[in-house]
Structure 1
Amino acid sequence: MILRTKLFGHTYEFKNLYDVMAKANEEKSGDKLAGIAANSAEERVAAKVVLSHIKLEDIRNNPAVPYEEDEVTRIIQDGVNEKIYEEIKDFTVSEFREWLLDSNTTSLDIKRVSKGLTSEMIAAVTKIMSNMDLVYAAKKIKVTAHCNTTIGEPGTLSARLQPNHPTDDPDGILASLLEGLTFGIGDAVLGLNPVDDSVESVTKVLKRFDEVKKKHEIPTQICVLAHVTTQMQAIKNGAPADLIFQSIAGSQKGNEAFGFDGSTLEEARQLALKHGTATGPNVMYFETGQGSELSSEAHHGIDQVTMEARCYGFAKKFEPFLVNTVVGFIGPEYLYDAKQVTRAGLEDHFMGKLSGLPMGVDVCYTNHMKADQNDIENLAILLTAAGCTYFMGIPHGDDVMLNYQTTGYHDTASLREMFGLTAIKEFDAWLEKMGYSKNGKLTDIASDASSLL
Structure 2
Amino acid sequence: MRLKTKLFGSTYAFRDVKEVLAKANEEKSGDQLLGIAAGSVSERIAAKVVLSGLTLEELRKNPVIPYEEDEVTRVIDDFVNESIYREIKNWTVGSFREYILDHKTMGADILRISKGLTGEMVAAVAKLMSNMDLVYGASKIRVTGKANYEIGKAGTLSFRLQPNHPTDSIDGILASMMEGLSYGCGDAIIGINPVEDTVENTKRIMESIHQFMVKWKIPTQTCVLSHLSTQMQALQGGAPVSVFFQSVAGTEDANKAFGIDQELIDEAFQLIQRYGTAPGPNLMYFETGQGSEMSLNTDHGADEMTLEARTYGFAKRYRPFMVNNVSGFIGPETLFDGKQILRANLEDHFMGKLTGLPMGMAPCYTNHVNTDQNDQETATMLLAMAGANYYMGVPVGDDVMLSYQDTSYHDDATLRELLNLKPAEEFFQWQVTIGIMDERGRLTERAGDASLFLK
Range of TM-score over shorter length:
over 0.9
Q: 2:158: which partner in 1?
A: 158
Matched letter for residue 27 of structure 2: E
Matched letter for residue 268 of structure 2: A
Establish whether residue 60 from structure 1 lines up as the match of residue 60 from structure 2: yes
Q: Tell me by how many angstroms 1:295 deviates.
A: 0.9
Establish whether residue 5 from structure 1 lines up as the match of residue 29 from structure 2: no
User: What does the per-residue CA deviation read over 1:415-445, in whole Å, with 9 as the maximum and x for residues that have no partner?
Assistant: 0110011111111111111110111111111
Q: Is the 2:18–2:63 Cα contact (8 Å) retained in structure 1?
A: no
Q: Tell me by how many angstroms 1:71 deviates.
A: 0.9
Q: 1:18: which partner in 2?
A: 18
Q: Is the 2:397–2:409 Cα contact (8 Å) retained in structure 1?
A: yes
Instruction: State how far apart, in whole Å, the 2-side matches of 1:345 and 1:48 are.
Output: 20
Q: 1:442: which partner in 2?
A: 443
Q: Tell me by how many angstroms 1:134 deviates.
A: 0.3
Instruction: State how far apart, in whole Å, the 2-side matches of 1:120 and 1:209 are.
Output: 40
For residues 231-380 of structure 1, the aligned pairs below 5 Å read: 231-380=231-380
Instruction: State how far apart, in whole Å, the 2-side matches of 1:208 and 1:436 are.
Output: 23
Q: Is the 1:327–1:361 Cα contact (8 Å) retained in structure 2?
A: no
Q: Tell me by how many angstroms 1:170 deviates.
A: 0.5
Q: Is the 2:161–2:394 Cα contact (8 Å) retained in structure 1?
A: yes
Q: Tell me by how many angstroms 1:266 deviates.
A: 1.2
Establish whether residue 190 from structure 1 lines up as the match of residue 190 from structure 2: yes
Q: Tell me by how many angstroms 1:6 deviates.
A: 1.0
Q: Is the 1:365–1:405 Cα contact (8 Å) retained in structure 2?
A: yes
Q: 1:209: which partner in 2?
A: 209
Instruction: State how far apart, in whole Å, the 2-side matches of 1:41 and 1:434 are.
Output: 56
Instruction: State how far apart, in whole Å, the 1-side matches of 2:212 and 2:450 are.
Output: 12
What are structure 1's unaligned runs of at least 5 residues? none
Q: Is the 1:312–1:352 Cα contact (8 Å) retained in structure 2?
A: yes
Q: Tell me by how many angstroms 1:93 deviates.
A: 0.3
User: What does the per-residue CA deviation read over 1:215-274, in whole Å, with 9 as the maximum and x for residues that have no partner?
Assistant: 111111000000000000000110001011000010111100000101111111111111
Matched letter for residue 180 of structure 1: G
Matched letter for residue 233 of structure 1: Q
SS class of match (1:329): coil
Q: Tell me by how many angstroms 1:7 deviates.
A: 1.0
- The count of residues paired between Structure 1 and Structure 2 equals 453
Q: 2:49: which partner in 1?
A: 49
Identity of paired residues, percent? 59
Instruction: State how far apart, in whole Å, the 2-side matches of 1:430 and 1:51 are.
Output: 50
Instruction: State how far apart, in whole Å, the 2-side matches of 1:309 and 1:273 are.
Output: 26
SS class of match (2:360): strand
Instruction: State how far apart, in whole Å, the 1-side matches of 2:116 and 2:325 are.
Output: 23
Q: Is the 1:222–1:243 Cα contact (8 Å) retained in structure 2?
A: yes
Instruction: State how far apart, in whole Å, the 2-side matches of 1:229 and 1:187 are.
Output: 26
Q: Tell me by how many angstroms 1:180 deviates.
A: 0.2
For residues 165-184 of structure 1, the aligned pairs below 5 Å read: 165-184=165-184
SS class of match (2:12): strand
Q: 2:115: which partner in 1?
A: 115
Matched letter for residue 2 of structure 2: I
User: What does the per-residue CA deviation read over 1:14-73, in whole Å, with 9 as the maximum and x for residues that have no partner?
Assistant: 111111100000000000011100001111111111100111110001111111111111
Instruction: State how far apart, in whole Å, the 1-side matches of 2:125 and 2:155 are.
Output: 27
Residues 335-344 or 62-71, more deviating: 62-71
Q: Is the 2:291–2:327 Cα contact (8 Å) retained in structure 1?
A: no
Establish whether residue 81 from structure 1 lines up as the match of residue 88 from structure 2: no
Q: Is the 2:17–2:64 Cα contact (8 Å) retained in structure 1?
A: no
Instruction: State how far apart, in whole Å, the 1-side matches of 2:170 and 2:448 are.
Output: 20
Q: 2:30: which partner in 1?
A: 30
Instruction: State how far apart, in whole Å, the 1-side matches of 2:204 and 2:445 are.
Output: 33
SS class of match (2:246): strand
Q: Is the 2:191–2:225 Cα contact (8 Å) retained in structure 1?
A: yes
Q: 1:392: which partner in 2?
A: 392
Instruction: State how far apart, in whole Å, the 2-side matches of 1:436 and 1:96 are.
Output: 46
TM-score by length of 2: 0.99
Instruction: State how far apart, in whole Å, the 2-side matches of 1:413 and 1:91 are.
Output: 43
What are structure 2's unaligned runs of at least 5 residues? none
